[in-house]
Structure formats: C-alpha cells, structure tokens
Structure 1
Amino acid sequence: MLTWIRTGRTSAICVLVCAVLLVVQQAWFFGGWGGPEVATLVTDASYVPQALMFTVLAGRVAVSKRQEPRTRRAWQVITVAFGWQLAAHCAWFAQSHFLHTTGYPSAADYCFLLFSPFMFAGLLMLPGQHRRRRDRQRLALDALIVGAGGFMAIWYLLLGPILHAPGLTMWQRGFTAALPIGDLLLVLAMSTAMLRRHQPEVPGPVRLLAGSIALTVTADVSYSWIQLHGGYTGGSWPDLLWLAGCFLLVLAADQQYRRPRHPAPRRGDRNAVFLLPYAASVAAYLLLAEQSSHLPLDPYGGMILGSAVLTLLVMARQMHALRDNREMAVTDGLTGLANRILVTERLEQLAGQPVRPGRHTAVLLIDLDRFKPINDTFGHEAGDVVLVAAADAMRSVIRGGDLAGRLGGDEFAVLMPGLPSREAAGAIATRLLETLRMPVIFGEHVLMVGASIGVAVRDDPDASGETLLQQADTALYAAKRAGRGRFEYYSDVMDTKAREAELRHAVADDELVVYFQPAVALATGDLRAVEALVRWNHPTRGLLGPGEFIDLAEETGAVVPLGAWVLRRACQEAAAWRAETPGADPLRLAVNMSPKQVAQADLVETVQTILADTGFPPNRLTLEITESVILQPDPLTISRLEALRNLGIQLAVDDFGTGYSALSYLRRLPVTVLKIDRSFVTGIADDPEARSVCEAVVHLGEAFKMNVVAEGIETPDQAAALIAMGCTVGQGFYFHRPLPPQETAALVHKRFAPVS
C-alpha cells in the first residue's frame, strides 16, 4: 500500500477521493435524505476510507528518507495513533451495522481512547529549535495556561456532570471521564507544538493537525454532552466535525510528505500564535462570568469582576513588556535604527512576496566615506556622533513604509518596497547622497563625511533576502571603485562569481584574442618590438578592452591562467612571423605579467614549457612587470626573476613612475628595461614638471644601463621631446594603434621581408 501511494499523482487522487466523501456526507446530512438509519450508515461508512488514507499517508511520512530523523520518529508515533483511529472506526462500523452490540464501553471506545496518549506523545516529539532554559520555562507556562483554560471548560461541561451522573458503574464513570482528559492532553500538546515552532511560521502540517484536533475535541465534548443528556445517535451533527477533522489529518500527512526538508522561511505569524494563552485566559473568564451570573453582586460579583479586570491588566502589561523587549532586540542602540536582525527578517519577508508589475522592491546598502580616518583621528566618540547624524539624515529622506537599519560599523541598509519604478530607487539614493554629504560638528571640529551607495532592485522572484543584500554589496563595491560619493545599480555584469566563471570559460572557449602594439625607433620609425595586449571578443558585448576585465581577473585569480594563455598565443603568433619572414629575427616580443603570475612557484617552468612548445627564442622575449613587484620583492620573487633572466629573457618595469619605486631594488633585480608611463608623456611638450620626470627616468635608465621605452606617444612634439632627452624607443597612437594578429603579421612582413 505504501509503495503504491508513493507517487504524487496517486496521493493527490487519494486526497481528492477523501474530499469527495466529505462533501457527499455533508450534503447527505443537510439534505436529510433516506431517514436516520441510512444517514447513520452513510456517515459511519465515510469514516473508514478517511481513516485508512490518513494512516497510510502518515506511514509514508514515517518511513520517508526525505524527512529529518526527528520528524520521522515523531510521525512514527503519530502513525500508531492514526492506526488506533482506523481500528476504532472499523470496529464502530462493524458493531453498529453487523454485530449490533450496544455495550459501553465497546471495543471502538477503547480504540478511540488509545488515540489520545499516542497522539500526545507524537505531537510533543515534533522537532523544535534548541531553547535556553528560560525559553523552555516560558513555553511550559504558555502551554499550561492554554491547558488550564481548556480544563475549566471541560470540567464545567463534562467532568463535573460525569461525577454526578446516575446509572453509571465505577468503570463506566472512570472511562467516560478519561475521554475528555485525553482531549485535554491533546489541547496541551497541540498548543506546545504550535508555540514551539522551529520556523518563523507555524508549518502547514502542524496547522492542519491543530485544526483537526480542535474539531475533534469539540466533537468529543459535544458527543459526551449528548450522551449525558439523552443519548447519542449516529449521523448527528458531531459527525460533521469528526469527519472534517479526519480530512484535515489526511491533508496534514500528505503535506508533511511534500514539505521540503529545509523549507524557505516565510513571513511569520508569531503574533497570532502567542495570542493562544491570552485567548484561553479570556475564554476561561467568560465561562466563569456566565456561571456566576446568578450569584449576588455583593460580594461575589465584584470579586469576580475585579479578578477578571486585574488579569486583563496584567496581560496588557505583559504584552507591552514583550513589545518593548522586541524593540530592544531589533533596534540599534546607538542610532535608533533597525539592527541587522530586523533588516534580515524584513528582507526575507520582502523576498517572499510576489513580483508585481509596476511595484518594485529595492535594497540600498550605504557605506560612509572617510569614516575610518575620522574614527582613528578624533576617536570613537566622534565616530558615534557621525553615525547618529547619518541616521538622522536617512530618516529625513526615506518614506514612511521604508526601513533604515545599521548593519554594523559605518554600514547601513535601506529597504524600500512598493516603488513605482527602478528609477525611483536611484532618485532616493541621489537624495541620500546629497543629505549625507554634510558637515558634522564635533566640539571645535567640522567633520566632512559622504557616502557611497549600492542599489539592488528585485527582479528575480526566487532571489532570497541574502541574495539581494549581496547584490547591493556588489553594487556598493562598484560605486567605491568608480570614485566614491556616488551610487551604482547592481547588474549581472557586476557579479564577481558569475563574471569570473564567464572569464574562465572565455579562456577555455577561445573567446580571447591578442592584439599587438608596435614599438619603434623614435628617430627612424623602424619596427623594434611588439607588445601583446589581450582583448575579449565577448559573444554579446562585443570586443572588450583589458580595462573591462583585467581588474576582475586580478581580484579572482583568473589572471594566472589568462596570463599563461596570452603568453602562449603571443609566442605562437610571433614564431609564425619569424618562420614566414626570415628577416624578422631581431623583432622583440613584449608580454605583460601580473603580480599574481610572478608569485606562482611554477612560473619559470610555465614560461619554459610555453617557449619550448611554440619554438619562440627566449632571447627575443621581454616580460613586463609592474612596480608593485619590485617595491618589496621577497627572496623567492628575486630568484624567479633571475632564473628567467638566465634563460635570456629581458625583464621590463611597466608604467614606471606611477607608484613608489624603490631605486635600491632596481639594482638588485635583473631588470633591463624601464617603460615611462603614458601619464607623464601626455604633458611632456607643455608641462615642465612632466618633462622633468621623463628626463629623470631616461637618465635613470642610462645610470642603471637599462633601455628606456616611452608609452602613449600621440603627437610629433612628444616624440621630438623624447628624442631630445635621449629616449630611443617608443610606442603610441602617433606611430601605431594596437593591431589584430593579421594586420601585425602584414606589418612585420612589410618591414622585414627582403626587397626583391
């Protein structure tokens, strides 16, 4: 049976059949068809398939590996309880319509009684989160309040009358009292299970179990009351409640099986759940008031009224205390904004809502610029003043339904639901930037602050709150890199992980291409060398320059395989030119090498392998390194560079003069070429300071017996000035732009091919 019902379609059919049976029975009851005997037969017959289905479905949950072990153990006990229900309904149907037995208590009554203790144990075994001792005590008190309220109702309706009912033997009296006590245990266990939820919301199966028990207890109390006041007959109105409760058990077992092992959190309903103890207290006092209505006002009425009012006031005071505790738990103590806990909760709530056209949800992540220098220079007190001022500024800008929170340090978040457009988020971000660009008075000091903002607009309905926050953080990082004091929208292009994977795929799928920029003799224009420059032939964005992806490659480490690929492809192309044009032997090839490549332990072996595979001679190769490599070289770096130099490879310092080069290291490192950065060449014709720097680099190269190459030459005046300084080699748009491999091959052939 369990194997047959494992498929989702089969279990759905079973649930549908049970629903049809319930509707038929309800229609039969309200239609009054067939007389009392037929109504009793239809009702009793409806129980058996319902009980069979919820027992089988519960057994499916009890053996399912999809469930957590604790959940599985709890449902194993619940399945036993359901089994007693099935036995009870089968026995009742048999004894009512075939055996015609009338003894009390019957076999069916005993089976019904056994349902309660097993169900009680199973409900208490349902998993909940680990709790502190104080939380467990509070949970027990809440459950006992609910149980006490239920006890008062059951005592008034059943237990009291049972003790004085005539014509019952001691055993029958005790058995009759045991049934409502079992119901009281179920109320106690169900309230415990609902209050001890392990998710922000009460899980759906637990809700259905609670609804079933509520209907069952109501029907049991009604049945016992009818028995005490005239006798129960089958097919009467308590059967409507029992059958509805059975159908809820079917739904609960089916939904528990379908429930994911780790369901995504949804918006909680904790307020409704925590009202259970208060609702039970109010119900108990209403019952007490109804029973004491015939008593004289003096003294009983005033005392009962005073007790009820006093209890209600204590309950109201406790609810205020709970709200105050909640606010303290989710509020940042310094700024009064929401803290990370509340921001995270609200984010998950917003992420659980459907995406609607014309209604957008945005997350703004804000980081204060220049906060650390203020904190370090003037102390934490000044930093606190800045944070409080920033919080006040945010309150003055955001809308009434928005939530501003401090995540920690100088990082803030603003959640904005229900925006009319994506651009509205940018407009609010702009106002925040203007408001946060403010002076803050601290004693005699005026502290100037600002902010950078990352904006993530929710477009993907499956994106979690954590994902939205990560997207806003990515956009914030992009805003900082772009110069701070601005905001950036998140886009997939910013996704570091996705872009890294895309970049690595580009290397593997041969989407990269190497361009070559010629370097010439400044005096004659003769071709001396070519520098390899990588481009990305992106399938959707077109040809991308290195500025679009090299920084990402450096950050993620993808620059190591990327750099090896560029070196191999450049050597292949240059080796082909040498083979096709014998006169091109003097041409040098320059390839850039990142600091991460220099730090690789197998650098020398990688370069040797590439040269051997491509056949390019090492004495015609120049590897260009940045100033960061020569600033603080460790012994291993020096040994790698010396090993490359021993192979005959020349080493050049690229963009020389833009960093903080230590001249002492130039003497220690095997560097033979200095490249003047284009930023100095740009103003060489009319800026005396730029001219002085260039001239100093040229003389420095002569002092260290190094060759000097100028980059970024764009005008004849710049070339003439460099020649006057003594610089002999240069490259730039004035001579050649970077050329694709085919055009570079044609240029090499034109310059070096022998004249026929």
Structure 2
Amino acid sequence: MMLTWMRTGRAGAVCVLVCAVLLVAQQAWFFGEWGGPEAVTLVSDATYIPLALVFTTLAARVAFSKRQEPRTRRAWRVITLACGWQLAAHIAWFVQSHVLFTSDYPSVADYCLLIFSPFMFAGLLMLPGQNRRRRDRQKLALDALIVGAGGFMAIWFLLLGPILNAPGFTPWQRTFTAALPVGDMLLVLAMSTAMLRRHQRETPAPIRLLAGSIALTVSADVSYSWIQLNGGFTGGSWPDLLWLAGCFLLVLAADQQYRRPRHPEPKRRDRSAVFLLPYVAGAGAYLLLAVESAHLPINPYGGMIFGSVVLTLLVMARQSHALRDNREIAATDGLTGLGNRIQVTERLEQLAAQPLRPGQHTAILLIDLDRFKPINDTFGHEAGDAVLLAAADAMRAVIRDGDLAGRLGGDEFAVILQHLPSREAAGSAATRLLEALRMPVIFGEHVLMVEASIGVAIRDDADVSGDTLLQQADTALYAAKRGGRARFEYYSDVMDTKAREAELRRAVAQDELVAYFQPIVALATGELRAFEALVRWNHPVRGLLGPGEFIDLAEETGAVVPLGAWVLRAACREAADWRATVPGAEPLRLTVNLSPKQVAQADLVQTVEAILDETGFPPERLTLEITESVVLQPDPLTVGRLQALRDLGIQLAVDDFGTGYSALSYLRRLPVTVLKIDRSFVTGIADDPEARSVCEAVVHLGEAFKMNVVAEGIETAEQASALIDMGCEIGQGFYFHRPLPPDDATALVGRQFADLGNTNQRAAT
C-alpha cells in the first residue's frame, strides 16, 4: 500500500521534505546538546530508522517503476536489497543500545552493515553506463584500479595496519574489524567505476548523489573503525553526522532517479573533474607514503621516495599531454586541419544544452562547394584536395576566434558562430564567406574557379537538438542550391518538407481545408452546367493559401492521397446539399481532380464508392479528372481501376490535355469521356492563327473520339466566341466566374435555377 502511494511524484517530494526536517532537527539536537549525552544519542539513533525506511521504499519504487529502463531497474533492485540491510542494521542498533542495553562487538547491526557493502557494490557496478569499445573498457578498468589502489593505501595506513597489530582482539573480532574497511574499499572502487563510466556525458544527478552518499558513509565507517580501535564507539558521536547525511543523500538519489526520464536528452560534454579521480588517488597515496616515511633517514630512502614521486608526476603530466594530443587528432580533419564531424557534433551538443540569452544568437552555416565534383573528376583528387585546402584557408580568414569551422566530409563544411548580436549578423558572415570562397585556385597550369552555397540555421528554440540544427542548415543549403547556387538561404519552417508534410496532414485532419468551386458553363448562354471542385488551405498563420502553395508538396510526400479524399468528400457533400435544397439542380454535374498517386491506390474504387454512399451524391453526375501522366502509363491495374469507376457511372476526363506527351492510342484504350483543353492553348486563339489552329485540332480530336470537350482558362469574350466557332460548347474561366467559396457557390446555384424556373414558367404561360 505504501509503495503504491509512493509511486506519485508528490509523495516522493513529501518524503524528501520530511527527511530534511528530521536531519535538521537531529543536527540542532546534536550541536545544542539538549538533554545531555544520553538524549543526543537517543535522538541520533532514532533518526536513522525513518531515513532508512524512506530511502529503502524510494529505492524499491525505482526498482519496480516502468519509467526506468530494464538495466536501471535491475541495478536498483540490488541497491534496494542493500538499503534493506542498512535499515535492518539501524533498527538492530537502536534495539541493542536503547532496549537491550548491550554492547557486544561485533553486534547484529555490525553484521547487517557488513552485508550492506557487497550488495551496494554489485548494484553500483550494474548501473548502466555509456557503451564502450573493448579498449575503452580496459582503460576504464585501469583508472578504477588506480583509484582502488590509492584507497587501499589509505585504508591500510589508517585501519588495516593498526588492526593487524592491535592488542585485545579475538581472531574473529580482528577479522571482522578488517572486513569492514575492505567492504568500504569495494564501495569506493564501484562508485569510481560508475562515475568514470559516465565521464563523456553529464554525470546524472542520481549518480552524483550516490557518490556523495558513499563518500560520507565510507568516511563515517573509517571513523567508526578508528574509534573502535581506540576505546570503543558509542552512539551520538560525530560519525553519526556523516552517516545521517549519507542516508539523506540516498533519499535524494532514489527520488531523483525516479523522476529521471527513461530516455533523457543527451547533454553537453561533462566538464567536471571526474576524470581526475585516478590522479587524485595517486597523489593521496604518495602523500600518505611521505607522512609514513618521515622518520626514515634521508640517505638512501629520502632521495628514492622523492625521485619516485617526481617520476610519477612527470609520467602523469606526459600522459595528460598524450591524451590531449589524441583528442586533437580524433577531432581534426586530416587534410584541412579544420575540425571534423566529431568536433562539430560535440560543439552543437554543447550549444543545444545552453539556455537562450537575449541579444546573443547562435548560427550554424552549412557550406557546400559548387561544381566540386567536375573538378575532382576532370583534374584528379590532387586538384580536389587543393580546392579543399584553399577553402579551409578562406574560412579561417573569415571566422572569429572562438567560432568553429569544420569539414563534415567531401566538399561539405560547417561553421558554428556564437554570440552574434543579431540574426542578420549570420547573414553578413555568410556573405563574407561567399566572397572569400569565390576565388581562383591555381593548380599547375590550370586555374580552377570555386564558388559555394550556404545554408544558415539560427538557434531560436531552447529545446532544439544539435542534429536538428544541422538538418535545418542542410535544408536551407539545398534551398540555396535550387535557387541558383553561389548564394545563401536562411532556414525557415516553409523549407522543411517533413514539418510541412506533418502540418499538411494535420490540416486535413483538423478541417483547415476549404473546397472552392469554379463554375463550368455553356459558352453560348452562360448557363451553369457543372462545378469543378478546387482546394484552398485556410492556414491558421499564413491565411488562405492557393493550391500552388502546397499541392506540389502533397504530391511529393504522398499527403495528396488523404487530401484528395477530403476534397472529394467535401465537394460531394456540398453538391448533394444543392440537389436536396435547390429545385431543378439535379442535372448539375460535379468535377473533382484525381492525382496520379490516388489513381495508383489499390483501394481507389472502394474509397470513391464509400464517399458517394456517405454523401448521397449520384455517381452518374460525377466527373473525375486525371492527368496526362496517368494516360501515358495505363498499366493493366490502372486501366482496371478506371474501368471500375466507369462501371459505377462516373465520367472520366483528361485534364490539361495537350501539355504533355499525349498518346492517341491510349485515349482509345482508356474509358475516358471528356477532354479538357489546357488554358495555354486558349490564351492566343483570338489573335494568333497558329494557336487557333492547334486549339481547333484538339476540339476536332475530341469529337473524333466521341468525347465531350471543355475549354479552360477563358478570360475574354473573344476567346469564348472563337471556341464556339470551333464547335466547343462548354468552358470555364475568369470571364465567366472565378472559383467561389461554398456560400457563394450555393447562392449562384440558387439564382441560376430560380431564374431557369421563372423562365420555364413564363414560357409555359
């Protein structure tokens, strides 16, 4: 029951607060010496039990929480067992000291504390760390052993040596007293391993708190053993302050681990001094050696000890320089001397972890050399290397100290600019880089001309990752290349295909789209014959967008499939309402476009049929328009789907006929009933004899195939008259009507058929 309640974050916070209050109260009682030594001892020993109960419960909460990854849960289950033994030790000590009034050594509490060490040792080693190569694991083991060796020297000097020579101990007491510091040494070894395993990332708060708890506990244990050697330990003395503080840190560690997300975002490279642990341990060991050997004669021991210390320090200093050199080699591009992808990635991770500061901007510039491949292919790799070296020198000349230029691979570079006063400063830097990279490179007898394109991404979001910034700069780079090369572009959400695709799909799901309707009329009379459904996007930020703003993206990403289904459903629903509410509107036809991707869907016929059933619009009044790309690729499956639509009574039209590579043989094979003449053929028919001849040929072609012909893009009375003379009877365009929103289209239908009813009524009279 308690564990169930403890699974809430609020419960953990309450427990931490209660433990903090208890610890403060104990400290006040200890330093105030209220009630005398016996009262101080009683309060100190009593404080352990609720603290130990809380950290055991909180550790169990972590051990069985689905929020944690499996390896973490397994490690904390072992840590929970260790905490349970420590809880048993504190209870046993309290009973022994204040109920039974015994002072046996070793006591039950001592045995429980001894069992605590191997369980905690195993739990700490089981904590998940960074995945490493075999060589890295070997280096980690050496570092941890160095720390362990230094700890062993300290424990030997303070405890193990005196224990072996102390009088008055039975063999079992001597063995047990020596076992306690050995257990502490194991804890130091395990904790140093856990921390060193994390040194390439930020050490998580739970690990740091566990390390602090182990450090305080080991210090208290050493003090306890020392006091036992020199007169016997009694409760309420100063080691209790260290033990209790260690208990409270265990409470904090368990609570912080529970709150830590399962897959936390990667943080910046840890700049803490964890990597110095082996050096600190070595220095401490030599310090103890110097203290212990102070009584030895200078000749020969002094010089030998001094020389050993100096020699070790020199080796350590040489190793630090070797590590720095290895690091520089690993993070440097071998050809240009710039940073490589590793260094650029790490710098981006550092920047992503920093908070945004007003008046300071960070930008990443992704640079690609234009037409580098032809140079490499024509003149060889040596010429390509000369160009890359020249480009690197140009970048060094432009960027400031503190900024980073790196080569990501091939002819792609990255520049990271920090502490810019404005967004425009990144553009100014990009302009200077373009100028510096627009240079001739002398290679033997050849002059190689180089230019570059640059994509600029500004860090505006505190939560954006380094990888995302690099992707944004890459998107902007290709926008610059598409725009003509030798230029730069800022990244914007509009460029991001994935983000725009998700936004477009979300617009379909949230009904941000609007169906517009362009009337199709009889050219001679202007009477309404049909409507073509067109789509608009009522964008919440950018306003009403025409199809040119998003249809190409929808086609490219496949979002046109759900978008097309939405348009068909919305248009059929609106047209069915006209038929139901406007007398005489039943003959009115509806035309809707089908994209090539929709035609390629295996369930196209079922989707269309389901929409017609849902909206109640009759299939015989529906025309679906397909493009010439579908006509040119009439595989058997496509032909079968189109024929199935025709079997439902739906008419099929070829949209924008004549703009592609139309094949007349396919028109005979496909169940097409309507040809729509593209507006490009209609534009010049009033005054261009050649355009008129082409348009007239298309009209006659439709007649030859026994198809209805519809002209698009009619903008003048002269064009309408010319089309009538050719024999084209139906058309659409701004001369008659612009695309109308649903309400205006409904009003037009009402007027048209009301006027038609009045005309018929007068004729009958």
Q: Give the TM-score category using the shorter length.
A: 0.7 to 0.9
The equivalences for 1:163-202 within 5 A come to 163-197=164-198, 200-202=201-203
Alignment partner of 1:503 is 2:536: no
Q: Deviations over 1:72-101 (max 9, x none)?
A: 333333233333333333343444445444
SS at 1:512 equivalent? strand
SS at 1:262 equivalent? coil
Deviation at 1:57, TM superposition (A): 2.9
- Greater CA drift, 715-724 or 655-664: 715-724
8 Å Cα contact 2:516/2:533 also seen in 1:
yes
Deviation at 1:594, TM superposition (A): 1.3
8 Å Cα contact 1:701/1:708 also seen in 2:
yes
Q: Given residue 306 of structure 2, which amino acid in structure 1 is its aligned partner? A: L
- Residue 254 of structure 1 corresponds to which residue in structure 2? 255
8 Å Cα contact 2:592/2:623 also seen in 1:
yes
- Residue 114 of structure 2 corresponds to which residue in structure 1? 113
- Residue 458 of structure 1 corresponds to which residue in structure 2? 460
SS at 2:564 equivalent? helix
SS at 1:535 equivalent? strand
- Greater CA drift, 404-413 or 199-208: 404-413
TM-score, with normalisation over the residues of structure 2? 0.82
Cα separation, 2, equivalents of 1:173 and 1:256: 38
SS at 1:266 equivalent? coil
Deviation at 1:280, TM superposition (A): 0.9
SS at 1:514 equivalent? strand
- Residue 599 of structure 2 corresponds to which residue in structure 1? 598
Deviation at 1:353, TM superposition (A): 3.1
Cα separation, 2, equivalents of 1:48 and 1:54: 10
- Residue 745 of structure 1 corresponds to which residue in structure 2? 749
- Residue 24 of structure 1 corresponds to which residue in structure 2? 25
- Residue 317 of structure 2 corresponds to which residue in structure 1? 316
8 Å Cα contact 2:681/2:694 also seen in 1:
no
Q: Deviations over 1:510-561 (max 9, x none)?
A: 841222054664x997877654322234455443211122123223333234
SS at 1:249 equivalent? helix
Cα separation, 1, equivalents of 2:519 and 2:371: 40
8 Å Cα contact 2:365/2:457 also seen in 1:
yes
Cα separation, 2, equivalents of 1:328 and 1:53: 49
Deviation at 1:384, TM superposition (A): 5.9
Cα separation, 1, equivalents of 2:399 and 2:558: 40
Cα separation, 2, equivalents of 1:400 and 1:633: 62
Q: Given residue 626 of structure 1, which amino acid in structure 2 is its aligned partner? A: T
- Residue 213 of structure 2 corresponds to which residue in structure 1? 212
- Residue 516 of structure 1 corresponds to which residue in structure 2? 518
Q: Deviations over 1:290-312 (max 9, x none)?
A: 33445454443333233223222
8 Å Cα contact 1:583/1:752 also seen in 2:
no
Say what the alpha-carbon RMSD is for the aligned residues.
4.4
Is there any run of 5+ residues in structure 1 with no aligned partner, and where? none
Count of paired positions: 747
The equivalences for 1:448-487 within 5 A come to 449-451=451-453, 453=455, 455-459=457-461, 461-472=462-473, 485-487=487-489
Q: Given residue 180 of structure 2, which amino acid in structure 1 is its aligned partner? A: L
Q: Deviations over 1:385-430 (max 9, x none)?
A: 6665555555555444444455556655554454444444454455
Q: Deviations over 1:245-284 (max 9, x none)?
A: 2222222233233333333332342652222112111222
8 Å Cα contact 1:454/1:479 also seen in 2:
no
Q: Decide whether aligned partners of structure 1 residues 385 and 710 sit closer, same or farther in structure 2, where only a CA change above 3 A counts.
A: farther
Q: Decide whether aligned partners of structure 1 residues 106 and 650 sit closer, same or farther in structure 2, where only a CA change above 3 A counts.
A: closer
Cα separation, 1, equivalents of 2:86 and 2:578: 89
- Residue 72 of structure 1 corresponds to which residue in structure 2? 73
8 Å Cα contact 1:710/1:731 also seen in 2:
yes
8 Å Cα contact 1:362/1:456 also seen in 2:
yes
Q: Given residue 316 of structure 2, which amino acid in structure 1 is its aligned partner? A: M
SS at 1:122 equivalent? helix
TM-score, with normalisation over the residues of structure 1? 0.83
The equivalences for 1:15-414 within 5 A come to 15-31=16-32, 35-197=36-198, 200-229=201-230, 232-269=233-270, 272-333=273-334, 336-365=337-366, 393-407=394-408, 413-414=414-415
The equivalences for 1:437-448 within 5 A come to 444=446, 446-447=448-449
Q: Deviations over 1:97-144 (max 9, x none)?
A: 454444443343333333322322222232335544333322221111
Q: Given residue 140 of structure 1, which amino acid in structure 2 is its aligned partner? A: A
Alignment partner of 1:562 is 2:566: no
Q: Decide whether aligned partners of structure 1 residues 448 and 712 sit closer, same or farther in structure 2, where only a CA change above 3 A counts.
A: farther
8 Å Cα contact 2:594/2:624 also seen in 1:
yes
Q: Decide whether aligned partners of structure 1 residues 519 and 408 sit closer, same or farther in structure 2, where only a CA change above 3 A counts.
A: farther
Cα separation, 1, equivalents of 2:65 and 2:544: 54
SS at 2:212 equivalent? helix
The equivalences for 1:636-647 within 5 A come to 636-641=637-642
SS at 1:275 equivalent? helix
Q: Decide whether aligned partners of structure 1 residues 3 and 194 sit closer, same or farther in structure 2, where only a CA change above 3 A counts.
A: same
Cα separation, 1, equivalents of 2:660 and 2:374: 23
Q: Given residue 173 of structure 1, which amino acid in structure 2 is its aligned partner? A: R
Q: Decide whether aligned partners of structure 1 residues 190 and 77 sit closer, same or farther in structure 2, where only a CA change above 3 A counts.
A: same
Q: Given residue 48 of structure 2, which amino acid in structure 1 is its aligned partner? A: Y
Cα separation, 2, equivalents of 1:236 and 1:108: 17
Cα separation, 1, equivalents of 2:313 and 2:658: 79
Q: Given residue 500 of structure 2, which amino acid in structure 1 is its aligned partner? A: T
Cα separation, 1, equivalents of 2:709 and 2:600: 25
Q: Given residue 170 of structure 1, which amino acid in structure 2 is its aligned partner? A: P
Deviation at 1:449, TM superposition (A): 4.2
8 Å Cα contact 1:517/1:533 also seen in 2:
no
8 Å Cα contact 2:515/2:571 also seen in 1:
no
Cα separation, 1, equivalents of 2:647 and 2:77: 75
Q: Decide whether aligned partners of structure 1 residues 265 and 169 sit closer, same or farther in structure 2, where only a CA change above 3 A counts.
A: same
8 Å Cα contact 2:367/2:477 also seen in 1:
yes
Cα separation, 2, equivalents of 1:17 and 1:415: 48
Percentage of identical aligned residues: 74
Q: Given residue 203 of structure 2, which amino acid in structure 1 is its aligned partner? A: V
Deviation at 1:148, TM superposition (A): 0.7
- Greater CA drift, 208-217 or 604-613: 604-613
- Residue 13 of structure 1 corresponds to which residue in structure 2? 14
Q: Deviations over 1:434-474 (max 9, x none)?
A: 55566666674645544252535333x44444454555555
- Greater CA drift, 100-109 or 431-440: 431-440
8 Å Cα contact 2:365/2:415 also seen in 1:
yes
Q: Deviations over 1:358-383 (max 9, x none)?
A: 44444555556656676777777666
Cα separation, 1, equivalents of 2:369 and 2:142: 47
SS at 2:544 equivalent? strand
- Greater CA drift, 741-750 or 532-541: 741-750
8 Å Cα contact 2:513/2:538 also seen in 1:
yes
Q: Deviations over 1:32-79 (max 9, x none)?
A: 555544444443333333333333333333444444443333333323
Deviation at 1:149, TM superposition (A): 0.8
